Structures are given as structure tokens and as C-alpha cells.
Amino acid sequence: MRWPVPDFHHAVAAGLFLGLLVPGAAPAWPDGAFRAIPVQDAAPQENSPENESDPPAADPLAEPAAPAEPTVAALARDREDLDLLFAELAQPEGEAWAQAETDILRIWSRSGSAAMDLLYKRGEAALDAGDTATAIGHLTALTDHAPDFAAGWYLRSVAFYLDGDYGPAIADIEQVLRLEPRHFGALTQLGTMLEELGDKRRALEAFQASLKIHPHQQDAQDAVTRIEQELQGTDA
């Protein structure tokens, strides 16, 4: 589905794109309380009358319990696993790439903090419900408190994009690619926005850069074919 494109200067988008992909280039954009996690009440004593009856049913509207904090060793293993997973992802044959993609996205979604992961899930749930304003609120709290968490910037860029606000969306993509240059989703989204802004050539470069990392993205493949045909017609 195509979303409305706001006024946004193409030269700014082009300059940002070059700053993202050209080594050593200066950045095109400057570097930039959440709700408390509920604590369960103390368990009743063994001889308490509460233990004599069945436990109450779980409240389906209650906040999910926060996951345990990952250990430093677990985070280090994730970083090592990513290199192997990206090697599998780039394989042109076989089906191992699909599991590699799933594992990469799972690792990227872990911030290292249970509280930050909860904010991420709230933002994701708001996006799924079509509530971009609430999503942006949660994800802004996330990027403020966890500025090194690339997935938070990426999800907020998606929210800005769906809200039709391309300037902040592209600025967030820059932050994603600074933290994780192999973020194929961010590169594909950048290509989508540049194409919709009319910058076909740099959109093509973004899609091609994404496919070098993850060659199995059908949307990016279709975009490359479409833009190449359009550019051939222009150059003819």
C-alpha cells in the first residue's frame, strides 16, 4: 500500500543516503519515563486461607511479566552468532537462509534490558493495532533510554513512515545503519522512501545494497527490476 508522501527536499534525502553508504562521509543529520513494570504481590503464607481455594484466574489484560535480563555471556554469544547467521543468509541456494533470517531478527529484538524490551513490545503492539501515535510515544521513550539499540530506531522509523513523516523516518534509518550496517530491513525501507520521493537512482542503490546482505527479499528484488526498467526508459 502506498502512503501519502509529505513535502521533503530530495537533495536532503540524497545527501543522507550518500552519508550512510559512503565510508568516511559526514553524517547528514546530527546525533540526537516509561510506565513502570508491575511488581507482583507477595505470595500468600502456607497457612493462609487463600491457599485453601483454587488460585484466581489470570487477568488477560494484565501486563506481561518482564523477561529475565540476559547475561553478558549470552549477549556476546548473540554477537558471534550473527556473523554465522549472515553467512547463511547470503547463501543463494537452499532454505537455511529462512531460519537464519528468523534468528537474526530474534537477536536484533533483544536490547539487553527487560524494561527496554517491554517498551519495544508495546511499540510493536501499537503499530500492529494501527496506532502510530502511541507507537511513536513508546519508541521515543525507548530510543531515549537505549540509544544503542538499533531495533528501537528501526521500529520508530517504520512508525514515522506509516505516519507519512519521511524526514524523521530517514533520520532514524541513519541511526539504525550507524549501529548495525547490515540491517537489510533499514536499507530496504530507505530504498522504498527514496523511490516514493522520486530519487530512483539512489533508491536502486539502497535496494541493491540490501540484497547483497539478504538476497532473498522478494520485495527488494521486485523493486530493483521495476526501477531498472524505469531508468532504462528514461535513458533511452
For residues 137 and 3, give the distance between their C-alpha atoms in angstroms, rounded to a whole number: 21
Give the pLDDT mean for 53-61: 48
pLDDT of residue 233: 76
Question: Are 139 and 123 a contacting pair, CB within 8 Å?
Answer: yes
pLDDT of residue 78: 62
Phi and psi (nearest 5°) for 92? -75, -20
Give the pLDDT mean for 194-213: 97
pLDDT of residue 221: 97
Question: Are 227 and 203 a contacting pair, CB within 8 Å?
Answer: yes
Question: Are 32 and 147 a contacting pair, CB within 8 Å?
Answer: yes
pLDDT of residue 71: 52
pLDDT of residue 173: 98
What is the fold, at CATH topology level, of the domain defined by 182-236?
Answer: 1.25.40
Percent of the chain scoring above 90 in pLDDT: 62
Confidence of residue 29 (pLDDT cuts 50, 70, 90): very low
Q: What angle do CA 162, 168, 171 make, to 5 degrees?
A: 120
Decide whether 112-171 matches 182-236 in CATH topology: yes
What stretches of the chain show up as alpha helix (H) in DSSP? 10-21, 72-89, 96-108, 114-128, 132-145, 150-162, 166-179, 184-196, 200-213, 218-235
CA distances from 141 to 34, 156, 167, 173 (A): 6, 10, 19, 17
> Residues 6 or more apart from 51 whose CB is under 8 A from it?
44, 45
Give tens-digit pLDDT for 87-140: 999 998 888 999 999 999 999 999 999 999 999 999 999 999 999 999 999 999
Give tens-digit pLDDT for 137-161: 999 999 999 999 999 999 999 999 9
Domain ranges of the chain: 67-108, 112-171, 182-236
pLDDT at 68 over 60: no
> Could you tell me which residue, 170 or 55, shows the higher pLDDT?
170
CATH number belonging to domain 112-171:
1.25.40.10
**DSSP letters along 5-21, please?**
PPP--HHHHHHHHHHHH
pLDDT at 184 over 70: yes
